[in-house]
Amino acid sequence: MRKIILTLMVMAAPILWAQNSKLADLVNEFEADKSALKRTYNIEESEEYYTRFSTFYDEWQKRMAALDFNSLSQQGKVDFVLLKNLVAKGKYFLELDYTAFKEVSEIGHFTKDIFPFIEERRRGKKPDAKIVAQKFHDAKETVTTKMKSLQSRPFKDWQTAEKAAKLIVSFREGVKEAYDFYYGYDPDFTWWVKEPYEKLDQKLTYYIEFLKSNYSQDSVKDDGSGIVGKPIGLDALNESLAMAFIPYTPEELIAAAEEQFDWCKNEMIKASQELGYGNDWQAALEHVKNTYVPAGEQPQTITNLYDHSVAFIEERDLITLPDLAKETWGMIMMSPERQKVNPFFTGGREISISYPTHEMAHDDKLMSMRGNNPNFSFPTVQHELLPGHNLQYFMTSRHKNYRNAFSTPFWTEGWALYWEIILWNKDFPQTPEQKLGMLFWRIHRCARIIFSLKFHLGEMTPQECIDLLVNGVGHEYANAEAEVRRSFTTSYPPLYQLAYMIGGLQFYALRNEMLEKGWTEKQYHDRVMKEGRMPIELLRALIQELPLNKNYKTKWEFSIQFK
């Protein structure tokens, strides 16, 4: 009887799910306000920027404190916690950046005389061209003097030098934008300012390069790998995990990843034995890598794998895949440049295929083909398309899209990784080659947790991260190098790489809880896709109607010991 009642409740619930909370407009307002300020105060490394955004976050914290939390529905309470967390996160990282800015701000004291010119340009005020020209000339002379004084006072490390250089880069861009606004349109301005501006701009270019290199010789910027990343340290990692609603320490996550890494290795040995390679899993992996298809045939291979995975999922009625979603996904080829940081295909609204082009060197061609063989691609086509990233984009564009503001890689990548776990458990791989393909990616995600956290803790260098992927996981060297470069030199946040496996384990733990409550897998999967992007702990609180308070902090200790 209890299961019948629960089933009836789940069937009736979509009427309520479709309703946005009272806070939907407030979330949109926050995002719009932030975007408007970023467009206006676009010199990010400036006192003006930091002061204005400090005020912005303070004002929003006051607005959140004034809301009547107890009067909100469960949907509204979840949105309150999410928005409050988003504001707190923005303020925390702004303050970290502001502190770093203050440490180097004296190298840009000369900018204060020119800043009024930039500010007044926003409202089109006609400048006194002669005065502007003099200020540009004086600034150039000041920079020359400053460079001489800094030669004997190098920064403590290369990170501080980079921050100082960014301050001048930001200022230079602001000056150029204001100068371009008047130049050619205001004859008086053009006549007076052209030469002083060009000389100042040239001097600022020299200044930027000088600042970048003016740091202590004890500070190592490049460990020889050519990959330069910026570790954020233990305190920032702990804060980031708490704001992502992950109640574990970096050390606990590393230990869990190492344990699962060993599980994957043992499973790879079993598959190796099936192939006749005994315990030599690396030899078995070499066999799998050489199953690559000839150049020109990869797109059709991807389509075939997609058709196979969708048929497998629909035959088992695991999730609703809208016909329009199946009709409208696209396919593009990845450029050689992009393959330097994305050696494997990526997905979302379309799938981007990584495979060699004629310009690539012979060895790079082979590494690309070997690293994208059909068995390695076997578990990841669905990760990128349906029911992974493509379905996420499709559904979040249509259901509670205001929650895109709360997007987190634990939801985005965790969901796609969760399906790899589910399909493995449902015997999706049938051959030892397919098993090795799935295990290759799973052990890769374990390695991501280990090397990304240890890097940010200062315990591993980029080269050591590459070596782990090559020797411990079985990557081609160029692919491992690209993976590490992607992790530390692009816009991916510090927790991104660990979010795949940890987010997947969160979704898996929540699945198990919902099945125990009488839900079907399809009911659970469809509900996830209709509630929008958010940390999974808050999704759990939403669909289970768990108690929340306005100061809610992470406390769901989901299992990170899953095998």
Alpha helix ranges (H) inside 105-157: 115-121, 129-150
Half-sphere exposure of 483 (CA within 13 A, CB side): 29
Residue position matching structure tokens 């384990």: 505
Q: Which of 228, 229, 268, 243 is nearest to 453 (CA)?
A: 229
Specify whether the CB–CB gap between 389 and 301 falls below 8 A. no
Alpha helix ranges (H) inside 457-520: 462-467, 477-489, 496-516
Specify whether the CB–CB gap between 136 and 107 falls below 8 A. no
Where does residue 296 fall: left (phi above 0), alpha (psi -120 to 50 degrees), or beta otherwise?
Answer: left
The residue ranges of DSSP E strands in 262-372, in sequence order, are 330-333, 350-353
Read off the DSSP letter of residue 294.
P
Specify whether the CB–CB gap between 452 and 490 falls below 8 A. no
pLDDT at residue 97, rounded to an integer: 98
**DSSP one-letter string for 154-195:** -BSSHHHHHHHHHHHHHHHHHHHHHHHHHTTT-HHHHHHHHH
Specify whether the CB–CB gap between 455 and 469 falls below 8 A. no
Half-sphere exposure of 342 (CA within 13 A, CB side): 16
Peptide bond into 322 cis (omega under 30): no
Which amino acid, one-letter code, is at 432? P
* Paired residues of 502 in beta bridges: none
Question: Please, which residues have CB within 8 angstroms of residue 164's CB and are 6 or more apart in sequence?
Answer: 104, 107, 155, 211
Distance in angstroms between the alpha carbons of the first and the last residue of the chain: 33
The count of residues in the chain is: 563
Specify whether the CB–CB gap between 391 and 318 falls below 8 A. no
Q: How many other β-carbons are positioned within 10 Å of the β-carbon of residue 128?
A: 14
pLDDT at residue 168, rounded to an integer: 98
Helices (H) and strands (E) in the chain, counts: 26, 2
Residue position matching structure tokens 């009625």: 317
Alpha helix ranges (H) inside 183-297: 187-213, 233-243, 250-275, 281-289
Tokens (6 digits) for 505? 């384990």
Tokens (6 digits) for 387? 């029911």
Instruction: Return d(Cα 200, Cα 218) in angstroms, integer.
Output: 32
Instruction: Return d(Cα 26, Cα 69) in angstroms, integer.
Output: 14
How far is CA 91 from its chain centroid?
A: 19
Specify whether the CB–CB gap between 447 and 454 falls below 8 A. no
Which residues in 366-399 are b (16+ Cβ under 10 Å) and which e?
Answer: bbbbbbbbbbbbbbbbbbbbbbbbbbbbbbbeee
Element of type H or E holding 443: helix 432-456
Instruction: Return d(Cα 4, Cα 2) in angstroms, integer.
Output: 5
* Backbone φ and ψ of 333, nearest 5°: -100, 140
Q: Report the chain (563 residues): mean pLDDT per 10 consecutive residues.
A: 47 53 96 98 97 98 98 97 98 98 97 97 97 98 97 96 98 98 98 98 98 95 95 97 98 96 97 98 97 94 96 98 96 84 78 87 87 92 95 97 98 97 97 97 96 97 97 90 91 95 97 98 98 98 98 96 61
Half-sphere exposure of 147 (CA within 13 A, CB side): 19
pLDDT at residue 8, rounded to an integer: 47
Question: Please, which residues have CB within 8 angstroms of residue 156's CB and are 6 or more apart in sequence?
Answer: 215, 216, 219
The residue ranges of DSSP E strands in 311-456, in sequence order, are 330-333, 350-353
Q: Which of 536, 312, 241 is nearest to 413 (CA)?
A: 536
Reported pTM: 0.93
Instruction: Return d(Cα 341, Cα 324) in angstroms, integer.
Output: 31
Read off the DSSP letter of residue 353.
E
